[in-house]
Amino acid sequence: MSMLVLGIDTTCDDTSAAVVRSGQTILSNVIASQYAAHEAFGGVVPMIAAREHARQISFVIQAALDKAEVRFSDLDAVAVSCDQGLLLALVVGVSAAKSVALACNIPLIGIHHLEGHICSVLMGEGPGPAFPFLCLTVAGGHTLLVRVEDHGQYEVVGSTRDDAAGEALDKIARRLGLGYPGGAAIERVAANGDATAFALPRPMIRQKTLDFSFSGLKTAVVRVMDEHPDLCVADLCASFQQAVVDTLVIKTMRAARQTSLTRIALAGGVALNSLLRKTFKKAADRAGLQAFLAPRALCADNGAMVAGAGYFLYRERGADPLTIETRANAPLGRLSV
């Protein structure tokens, strides 16, 4: 069944819309970033995010249609992230999607934002992982290890107990005055540093749990900064980045062993980090597992992954009513350990 799906994402600080054919062929993927609006605050301000989404959303949708060379009347469905994110930000995207569904008389599909990230690993050039697979999805708002049974069927096997990995990177970058977004800034500065310069903890790696905790690592970095006022920032960034990456990879490999899954995937905004991509792949190779990395263009929040996930969910369970709501915190999947 060939289907042209418009995907909309306004979860955090990116206004995005995309047109994707049958969950695979990306005809357009337009992202309007709000970095400039939040930069002065060193992080995302929810009210400003919502206002910026409202300002941008119609232009972004039109740009996605134009770039894909399609009209509203060509669309077969509209998918939108309605779960997981900043509530007021989500409301803008969901309202826009409902309007499109109503005006075009096409099905509306609401997805959990993380379903989009997970789906991104299936949308690369080559073949994606066959089900079931393990997916590490890691970003500013979440750090999650998920057993993906099928489209729409997930079991969360590990998650963060405090800060998300991306959040820890952002906070330390802010503390070091490196600007926002922090992950990219840390990676840039770390390129000239020595990752062995500072001995930082790899939190909770000795415990059997598959959960993460990054707040202790963040505190350890702050302590180093206080103790060494003249430290080499590049060395600290490199050491910190290495500690975050090691922790993520060690836990993923443990989860693969515990769940007996042989295919592991990496998605989310922090999956843009080159050291994480390289280390993830290397560890998988060493353990005889297959690694699948989300394409770089689909790592940050984007509408294409939403259109992709929406297409597959629509095939599984059909359309959602126009009354769907938004939830800032929503569980992913029906199974939970």
129 contacts 263 by C-beta, under 8 angstroms? yes
133 contacts 116 by C-beta, under 8 angstroms? no
- Return the residues of window 201-260 that contact Zn ion according to CB under 5 A: none
Per rule CB under 5 A, is residue 265 in the interface with Zn ion?
Answer: no
Dihedrals phi, psi of 188, to nearest 5 degrees? -60, -50
- Rounded CA gap, 295 and 266, in Å? 10
Neighbours of 10 (CB within 10 A): 37
The least distance separating Zn ion from the CB of residue 113, rounded to whole angstroms, comes to 6
Name which of 65 and 139 has its Cβ closer to Zn ion: 139
The least distance separating Zn ion from the CB of residue 139, rounded to whole angstroms, comes to 5
The least distance separating Zn ion from the CB of residue 32, rounded to whole angstroms, comes to 15
- Rounded CA gap, 196 and 192, in Å? 12
Structure token digits, residue 312:
């597959």
> Which residue from 139, 173, 248, 299 is in contact with Zn ion, where contact means CB under 5 A?
139
Structure token digits, residue 165:
């990995």
- Over the window 41 to 80, marking each residue x when it contacts Zn ion by CB under 5 A and - when it does not, the resulting string is ----------------------------------------
Dihedrals phi, psi of 60, to nearest 5 degrees? -65, -40
Dihedrals phi, psi of 66, to nearest 5 degrees? -60, -45
Amino acid at position 270, single letter: V
The least distance separating Zn ion from the CB of residue 11, rounded to whole angstroms, comes to 6
The least distance separating Zn ion from the CB of residue 148, rounded to whole angstroms, comes to 16
Per rule CB under 5 A, is residue 83 in the interface with Zn ion?
Answer: no
Q: How many of the chain's residues bind Zn ion (CB under 5 A)?
A: 2
Name which of 171 and 254 has its Cβ closer to Zn ion: 171
The secondary structure of 273-291 as a DSSP string is -HHHHHHHHHHHHHHT-EE
Name which of 115 and 301 has its Cβ closer to Zn ion: 301
Name which of 246 and 301 has its Cβ closer to Zn ion: 301
Amino acid at position 53, single letter: H
Per rule CB under 5 A, is residue 301 in the interface with Zn ion?
Answer: yes
Name which of 61 and 139 has its Cβ closer to Zn ion: 139
Name which of 139 and 200 has its Cβ closer to Zn ion: 139
The least distance separating Zn ion from the CB of residue 290, rounded to whole angstroms, comes to 24
88 contacts 49 by C-beta, under 8 angstroms? yes
Sign of the CA dihedral running 109, 113, 114, 120: positive
The least distance separating Zn ion from the CB of residue 306, rounded to whole angstroms, comes to 10
Stretch that binds Zn ion, among 33-41, 52-60, 133-141, 166-174 (CB under 5 A): 133-141
Query: What are the residues binding Zn ion (CB under 5 A)?
Result: 139, 301
